Amino acid sequence: MEEPKKKGAKPVEHKKEQERCILVGIATPKIRPWLAGEQLAELGRLAETAGAYVTRSFLQRVQNFSPATLIGEGKVGEVKRALEEDNAKMVVFDDDLSGSQVRNLEERMPGIKVLDRTGLILDIFAKHAVTAESRLMVEVAQLQYMMPRLTGAWTHLCRQHNGGIGTKGPGETQLETDRRMIRKRIQELKKKLEKIEDAREQQADKRNDIFQVGIVGYTNAGKSTLTNRLTGADVYVEDKLFATLDSTTRKLFLDGENIILSDTVGFIRKLPHNLIETFKSTLGVAAHADCILEVVDGSAPDYRDHLEVTHKTLESIIDKDTPRLRVFNKVEVASEARRTELLQNYPDAIQISAKENIGMERLRAAFKEQLERWHEKRAVAEAKEKEIAEAPWPPELD
Ligand SMILES: Nc1nc2c(ncn2[C@@H]2O[C@H](COP(=O)(O)OP(=O)(O)OP(=O)(O)O)[C@@H](O)[C@H]2O)c(=O)[nH]1
Ligand SMILES: [Mg+2]
């Protein structure tokens, strides 16, 4: 059996050259402790995917977020000391920071780069974007992310130059100019994106007579591995988050005819709404599908959370009437207890291993069933169209 494709000959350890960083997660009483730990571990994987080296992580339990710095003042001091000890120059928060929070934190920790989960995701997106379309989308998202943070950067500079004196006057004018320029740029980029989208829609129309399956799911669930397994394709697979940014379509020969599988960008928790909005057209590939295949990592401790995130993200993108299939992947590494739990709670889902080639026959059978239903639906629709076309005109009156 063929091993999934790995990224070329990459040096394994490069910790000295990597940016060293510390992670900060915040757990409110609403979130269960083990899940808070999982989320922080996921942030660590995001940081590593972005090329950073995590020296340590903090998980602070709080009743409420602190408005000025997100975490309490005492904790800020603790993080600052840890950064010095670890010789790290970057701190990444698992929750979104406002522009003023970034500014306050940077003031308290001079020389330290302050990022949040979204900033990290955008960085990964920027690195993994290959096509003109995804590059444009990433730039829009980056500019939108920058806008509210601009205030921080500028007033920060103003204070430095004017010794802490007010921030009105030329500073604000400059800020306004910057904002206007960014807005204009966003508009331009969006126009370009619309053109690409139109071209894609036209292509999608042309393919209307082929059954299309949109593969969706949480990042790293194994969507690309499954696409490769089913179609013998060579889609990029890696044990990193957001390996796939641009959707790819592959043909699968099934029951005497070709169907199309589209592999798409994965979802993740705490993905800001405007990022989903921006990537809607890539995800739109799934929106046009005749059937949705949801891939879930059945071995993940927090798979229920993954299911929920996927469900919520899809809600805004996909027609609720589109037929859906669900597979639990990586079952060869899931415990017996987990497999039983999945079987009991999700009797319609198919347990598979894209890596070990388990469950593929059942999945193909499920595709066939959907394909038959699709043909039936089309036949009914065509008959109706024909009836309308052949009806006498003007209609006969009684
Ligand atoms: N154990 C196990 N690992 C798997 C299986 N399928 C995929 N993987 C591994 O999971 C990791 C992610 O696989 P991908 O196919 O890149 O996942 P993806 O859903 O396309 O991820 P993104 O494109 O990043 O959203 C890789 O290391 C795969 O080798 C499986 O059935 N079993
Ligand atoms: Mg992928």
CA 226 / ligand 2 centre spacing (Å): 9
Of 183-197, 365-379, 384-398, which range is least confident? 384-398
> Is the model's pLDDT at 154 over the cut of 50?
no
Name the residue of 220, 241, 261 to mutate for ligand 1: max ligand atoms within 8 A of Cβ.
Answer: 220
Neighbours of ion ligand 2 (CB under 5 A): 223-224, 243-244
Query: What's the topology of domain 210-384?
Result: Rossmann fold (3.40.50)
Q: Contact 282/215 with Cβ under 8 angstroms? A: no
| 300-322 mean pLDDT | 90
CA 172 / ligand 2 centre spacing (Å): 43
Q: Return the ligand 1 atom nearest residue 4 CA.
A: 29
Residue 70 Ramachandran class (φ > 0 left, ψ -120 to 50 alpha, else beta): left
> Is the model's pLDDT at 284 over the cut of 70?
no
> Is the model's pLDDT at 276 over the cut of 70?
yes
Same fold, 19-125 and 210-384: yes
Q: Check if 49 has its Cβ closer than 6 Å to any atom of ligand 1.
A: no
> Is the model's pLDDT at 137 over the cut of 70?
yes
Q: How much is the ipTM here?
A: 0.99
Q: What is the DSSP string of 14-49?
A: -TTTSEEEEEEEEE-TTS-HHHHHHHHHHHHHHHHH
The pLDDT tens digits of the residues spanning 314-365 come to 887 888 889 999 999 999 999 999 999 999 999 999 999 999 999 999 999 9
pLDDT value for 248: 79
Which residues neighbour 201 within 8 Å (Cβ) at sequence distance 6 or greater? Answer: none
Q: Contact 310/218 with Cβ under 8 angstroms? A: yes
CA 155 / ligand 2 centre spacing (Å): 41
pLDDT value for 300: 96
- Between 159 and 21, where is the model more confident? 21
CA 343 / ligand 2 centre spacing (Å): 26
Least distant ligand from the CA of 243: 1
> Is the model's pLDDT at 201 over the cut of 80?
no
Query: What is the residue extent of each domain of the chain?
Result: 19-125, 129-201, 210-384
> What band does 283 get if pLDDT is binned at 50, 70 and 90?
low
- Between 194 and 157, where is the model more confident? 194
pLDDT value for 167: 43
**Residue 305: CB atoms within 10 Å:** 16
Q: Which tokens sit at 386? A: 């024909």
Q: Return the ligand 1 atom nearest residue 238 CA.
A: 16
CATH code that applies to domain 19-125:
3.40.50.11060
> Is the model's pLDDT at 298 over the cut of 80?
yes
Q: Contact 136/148 with Cβ under 8 angstroms? A: no
Q: Check if 171 has its Cβ closer than 6 Å to any atom of ligand 1.
A: no
CA 210 / ligand 2 centre spacing (Å): 23
Residue whose CA lies nearest to ligand 1 atom number 3: 330
> What band does 259 get if pLDDT is binned at 50, 70 and 90?
very high
- How far apart, in whole angstroms, are the C-alpha atoms of residue 360 and residue 343? 17
pTM for this prediction? 0.82
The answer on whether 190 is annotated among ligand-binding residues is no
> Is the model's pLDDT at 142 over the cut of 50?
yes
CA 115 / ligand 1 centre spacing (Å): 27
Residue whose CA lies nearest to ligand 1 atom number 32: 330
Q: Check if 333 has its Cβ closer than 6 Å to any atom of ligand 1.
A: yes
Q: Check if 239 has its Cβ closer than 6 Å to any atom of ligand 1.
A: yes
Helix boundaries (H) for the chain: 33-49, 73-86, 99-108, 117-128, 132-162, 170-206, 223-231, 273-278, 280-287, 303-315, 336-345, 360-390
pLDDT value for 281: 67
pLDDT value for 322: 92
> What band does 180 get if pLDDT is binned at 50, 70 and 90?
confident
